Amino acid sequence: MTSLMAIRDMLALEGRLQAAQISQRTATPLPLVEAMLMRLEAMGRATCVAVEVDGCFSGQCRTCPEGKACQPRWWMLRQ
């Protein structure tokens, strides 16, 4: 089982990571990693950055039923 400090240290070393990457590297369930990242964000230690994807296949992101689910969410330490 991983801890908040381990996730914080991982973000400090890597710069930015996705929750799925952290989950895979620490062998921790994704929902738990996401909850820990949200806790770090609430504490003011981490921030979520949504990266704009230029290669939208349909060009209809505003009307897409998935919303912006195709855009990757990266986590990084707050400066």
* Domain coordinates in residue numbering, the chain: 4-77
Instruction: Note whether 23 and 53 are within 8 A (CB).
Output: no
Domain topology for 4-77: Arc Repressor Mutant, subunit A (1.10.10)
What HEC string does the chain produce? CCCHHHHHHHHHHHCEECHHHHHHHHCCCHHHHHHHHHHHHHCCCEEEEECCCCCCCCCCCCCCCCCCCCCCEEEEECC
Binding residues: 56, 61, 64, 70
> What tens-digit pLDDT sequence spans the chain (79 residues)?
789 999 999 999 999 999 999 999 999 999 999 999 999 999 999 999 877 655 555 556 666 666 656 677 899 999 8
Chain centre to alpha carbon of residue 7? 11
Binding residues for iron-sulfur cluster: 56, 61, 64, 70
pTM greater than 0.85: no
